[in-house]
Structure 1
């Protein structure tokens, strides 16, 4: 039976606290290159809204089947520890608060959690997934071993119950990128060995691993289960949708344009109602060398719009694999940047790349199913001044566990309409770049979804953008969105829909180029110049239609600063929060936010936010991750919280001989990206 998942440091001019080495390997130094979006774009003040805000549909009646997933700062005092602590009732109004003592900002080399909670590590980089896999040895790595071990830099996580087994789950995790200087002693970044390149390719992709719960606690332990699987940068994928077979996707190794080896740069993701896992290919541009050798004008312009840069790549895979040399395989890069779908219940299945959902730097893809059974996927293009998208399928979910139902469900994301968002502010004349609240209701506005591409039941596409073919819209989606005047956002990352209200939340991480000379200025959804701390957007969407209203739930940063906003909640009673990245919901409708690149001189963390009632906007820090790490992939259930701790100890002056962090093993051990779990010591409910 097919399961339905349960709702479950070189500083950048005072901006993000990411180390330069992280920027180099994670996003190809995007912050140090010209912003790829040089289009005219859409300024709020120039858009004449034709929307009737009062006529928009509300999401309260909808049902969702997806899961969740500086200055020196004063430590949070008693007011912050108790902010929004009204105990939520499982049978009462959703999203009314959480009960735990807020964790203070810190720089500890540990996961710091509230009093009354406990924690453990579920799985670490290099831990074996199969009985015949060797134990991890930092000094004796091999590609063959890594292909059977847990991958590097875990980001998104999904926890799927195994039918018929009490307290047993599949943990599905993707692996975003690798950092050679921190993985190997004596690493020569100019000339990695062939074996090192093969190891880093094997450390990408996804891991599927069976985990078992412990009676009386929330602890999870990995096991050698029959579903365990590694997907890497060399695993075969199938291309589907209107670009499959396109000349843009054909290479010397694949003249059909329908098969791709591997998935890379996987960031966040989502879980589908039919039991599969989605993952977004994000910073794929940083893996391809020699964009300057592509001289055909149209192709060169496309590469520039996607952020490809001249010369060598950080990983140097092009030395051993011509796929990653654009001078030899100019189309290979067009085969990355998609939403991928993996069936974790069938280890022999071929994963899919969905071209109908567009090609961009997908942070992830999250699914919302309306009361009428319509399937909607939301995704952000994680780049400064890029856009927000949704895909509305023309197919509905088929229930049951039969093979025919699964075959149908695996095509749901191959037929439908792709849209991009355009937003209008209610108070454009009051937005001056300082972040000052423009009205007593905060930052508010309306918006519309502009259609880009329609894919029929036969898989063939119809372009809805003048001057572009369907294949061009599917493969060069950014250019299509430029043409229709989509609104430039401050790095749109994760989307999550509230399972109770249907409202959609978007993490806008930061944009320190906002308002700089020659760059687009502030607007009501992106209200600060040189925005280093980010914001959370709340959308009340007509999910299958084209209209929505929006407001800013949070304008993040130090609550002592004038340019922060917490939905009108008392700022003396909230935790400082910076650079929101991934989002999740607990079973009671409270929003949880993980951060990446905290610009407030504290470790990154995980925060709860109240969405309804008198405490709306109350923000509390639940945990912090170790030095140099980023908080990813939160899963918040009634009994446990999972976080992916990515790149612990990653700093410019750190080396394997002089590590910044020794987490998770302590002592003199090397830092290892890992998945951790936190639970209440008495076995109670999270947040109560």
Structure 2
């Protein structure tokens, strides 16, 4: 469990330069767009300490109820010694032999587990779509085939059965395209219109019925099913919520600002209690050209706050559609960067962009319900020094099954309050020195936080900004509100067992660099290569609360590094983990984390970690993915684990002619992003 490998390469975040080119437009080679002067947790400790007695008096009941305070959580394993915490079996659901760090060009799973490819890029899912032929690709064919670079996954129930099999509805995001790995002889300086249109069709979402046997966790796609669907960069979307019709969303093709063609760069997402899926539009800046040529200074600064920059884009789509040129369609970028909601059970429904949830680089959006049935959605803005957000709906979910109930629930995310987080540390300032070593006061990185309201419906809470401006330029509103800059907030999800919320903070190598924000208690390391996992609990166990108590659950990296932390679990007994990204939970309450950009020399993987009990903080590696790939979209069911293997072979210098990976189909075949199912060969439940 302890073997580490030499570090491979030195690109920021552990990624290849090729990944940065195609996934995020070389974001890590440019200054972070957040240049605000917001306070940091480390800068306001004195203010926090001076009012601590007041806060404690008002919050003690809520902290006791949520059991996230230092005393409450240490009580989960009492005062047990480190040695005694490792006695006995791992937490239920995590009882497998951990996979060792490795660089194998395959999906590596624990002993006794099997796997299969559920679906690959290019496999037909719609009627009339041809089988995949890499030498005869077309936009029409791709629009009926499974898209490229699968990220978020959701499995929803279906009542259908076929023979001895059981069927489910799988929804997948298609984040971006790697043209150099898709097309033989691709010329990045002179892409063709057909290649651009194939790229448009390969983005978006796929809805696919999948079927598995009762005695195995293997899954197979059911092609050409009536519920199967492709949504692309040219599919019509409805703009919904308080910013619908805003002048900032109007274009020559859509003068009403209410219909957008397509969705771009969908990263992680969420599954709602009312049976829909949510999808976060993330690195949308890379698709839009010529910000540098914009003459209106205010407009240019707003674009730059969303990381738009330069002239030509990587894919050169602006040559084939004016909407990707901001000098011709200045407001088109404002129509992306939203959370998208899809009704996967209705193949004729129009997906909607939910403007009440704000516009930024959405990594994910996982809802929960308050006691009175209102929807609460937690969200991360995935860029260096960006923020954590929360949305609380005004309306309550209806639990009925009528069409009227369903239509009502489809409006829940259009009206409510959008918040951004401020986190305050409670340790002595001198203890936060950038090394990541625990502070002396309570030997944890922890503190309190508050949710700052930005807008409610048509009412702005940010001075100098209208509600429309808050929703369209949410980053600017959060700057003004004084939110806490974080280390790339990605997936944020509440535990269905404890109610605690977990946020993956992937990394931030600029933390503490010259002219950049220094370490604070929530982001305690300079040059943060490995990331951390934040755990917080809402006051009074109320998801709609305005205050919360937080602490770092994991400080990732090499367990031999004194600047790492695994919730107090003995560090010589954990799997090394770096750069947490997508997260989910199993039925036992264990947190599962996929990684993106492992800086420890191993390929990325999927890890399970206990969140309660004596084994709290024990990280165990369940699988690793092939060369150049990222682990995405984990779904953990009782008898299977589903992962999206995204961008395999995405290594500097790779191409169709010179592949860096032979996965999944071996030599002389195209490298293809795919979805993989993993299960126990003896038919038993995962990890028991």
User: What is the rounded CA distance, in whole Å, between the counterparts of 1:629 and 1:362 in structure 2?
Assistant: 21
Provide the residue aligned with 2:151 in structure 1: 155
User: What is the rounded CA distance, in whole Å, between the counterparts of 1:231 and 1:45 in structure 2?
Assistant: 45
User: What is the rounded CA distance, in whole Å, between the counterparts of 2:669 and 2:479 in structure 1?
Assistant: 48
User: What is the rounded CA distance, in whole Å, between the counterparts of 2:571 and 2:479 in structure 1?
Assistant: 38
Provide the residue aligned with 2:455 in structure 1: 453
User: What is the rounded CA distance, in whole Å, between the counterparts of 2:10 and 2:125 in structure 1?
Assistant: 42
Structure 2 counterpart SS, 1:483: helix
Q: Deviations over 1:116-169 (max 9, x none)?
A: 110000000000002321000111110000000000000000000103546210
Provide the residue aligned with 2:109 in structure 1: 113
Change (3 A) 1:14 1:237: closer
Is 1:36 matched with 2:33? yes
Equivalent residue pairs, number: 651
Structure 2 counterpart SS, 1:227: coil
Which runs of structure 2 are paired with 1:270-669 in the superposition (5 Å)? 270-429=270-429, 430-439=431-440, 440-455=442-457, 461-542=458-539, 543-669=543-669
Q: Deviations over 1:149-190 (max 9, x none)?
A: 000000000000103546210000010000111110111111
Provide the residue aligned with 2:22 in structure 1: 25
Deviation of 1:86 (Å): 2.6
Contact 1:60 1:502 in 2 (8 A): no
Contact 1:510 1:533 in 2 (8 A): yes
Contact 1:84 1:98 in 2 (8 A): no
User: What is the rounded CA distance, in whole Å, between the counterparts of 1:553 and 1:256 in structure 2?
Assistant: 46
Deviation of 1:46 (Å): 3.3
Contact 1:205 1:232 in 2 (8 A): yes
Provide the residue aligned with 2:60 in structure 1: 55
User: What is the rounded CA distance, in whole Å, between the counterparts of 1:370 and 1:481 in structure 2?
Assistant: 24
Deviation of 1:12 (Å): 7.3
User: What is the rounded CA distance, in whole Å, between the counterparts of 1:288 and 1:342 in structure 2?
Assistant: 25
Structure 1 counterpart SS, 2:476: helix
Higher alpha-carbon deviation: 423-432 or 356-365: 423-432
Provide the residue aligned with 1:137 in structure 2: 133
Provide the residue aligned with 2:72 in structure 1: none
Contact 1:59 1:502 in 2 (8 A): no
Provide the residue aligned with 2:174 in structure 1: 175
Provide the residue aligned with 1:4 in structure 2: none
Structure 2 counterpart SS, 1:549: strand
User: What is the rounded CA distance, in whole Å, between the counterparts of 1:312 and 1:56 in structure 2?
Assistant: 56
Structure 2 counterpart SS, 1:584: strand
Change (3 A) 1:87 1:13: closer
Contact 2:127 2:144 in 1 (8 A): no
Change (3 A) 1:240 1:248: same
TM-score by structure 1 length?
0.92
User: What is the rounded CA distance, in whole Å, between the counterparts of 2:360 and 2:8 in structure 1?
Assistant: 27
Deviation of 1:428 (Å): 4.2
User: What is the rounded CA distance, in whole Å, between the counterparts of 1:525 and 1:84 in structure 2?
Assistant: 31
Provide the residue aligned with 1:69 in structure 2: none
Contact 1:383 1:490 in 2 (8 A): yes
Structure 2 counterpart SS, 1:499: coil
Deviation of 1:396 (Å): 1.0
Higher alpha-carbon deviation: 581-590 or 123-132: 123-132
Change (3 A) 1:573 1:606: same
User: What is the rounded CA distance, in whole Å, between the counterparts of 2:367 and 2:464 in structure 1?
Assistant: 31
Contact 2:90 2:615 in 1 (8 A): no
Which runs of structure 2 are paired with 1:250-261 in the superposition (5 Å)? 250-261=250-261
Is 1:219 matched with 2:226? no
Q: Deviations over 1:350-382 (max 9, x none)?
A: 000011110000001011113332210000000
Deviation of 1:25 (Å): 1.1
User: What is the rounded CA distance, in whole Å, between the counterparts of 2:60 and 2:160 in structure 1?
Assistant: 46
Contact 2:507 2:531 in 1 (8 A): yes
User: What is the rounded CA distance, in whole Å, between the counterparts of 1:604 and 1:240 in structure 2?
Assistant: 37
Deviation of 1:398 (Å): 1.1
Contact 2:380 2:490 in 1 (8 A): yes
Structure 1 counterpart SS, 2:660: coil
User: What is the rounded CA distance, in whole Å, between the counterparts of 2:109 and 2:453 in structure 1?
Assistant: 44
Q: Deviations over 1:54-78 (max 9, x none)?
A: 436359789xxxxxxxxxxxxxxxx
Deviation of 1:219 (Å): 0.6
Higher alpha-carbon deviation: 438-447 or 513-522: 438-447
Q: Deviations over 1:385-435 (max 9, x none)?
A: 000000000111112222211111111000100000000011141100000
User: What is the rounded CA distance, in whole Å, between the counterparts of 2:106 and 2:64 in structure 1?
Assistant: 40
User: What is the rounded CA distance, in whole Å, between the counterparts of 1:52 and 1:594 in structure 2?
Assistant: 36
Structure 1 counterpart SS, 2:216: coil
Change (3 A) 1:14 1:646: closer
Say which structure is richer in helix: 2
User: What is the rounded CA distance, in whole Å, between the counterparts of 1:292 and 1:41 in structure 2?
Assistant: 27
Change (3 A) 1:410 1:58: farther
Q: Deviations over 1:34-59 (max 9, x none)?
A: 11000001211333335724436359
User: What is the rounded CA distance, in whole Å, between the counterparts of 1:216 and 1:648 in structure 2?
Assistant: 30
Q: Deviations over 1:3-36 (max 9, x none)?
A: xxxxxxx977464221111101110110001110
Contact 1:581 1:595 in 2 (8 A): yes
Structure 1 unaligned blocks of 5 or more: 1-9, 63-78, 89-95, 456-460
Higher alpha-carbon deviation: 309-318 or 505-514: 309-318
Provide the residue aligned with 2:240 in structure 1: 240
Q: Deviations over 1:323-373 (max 9, x none)?
A: 100010000000000000000011110000011110000001011113332
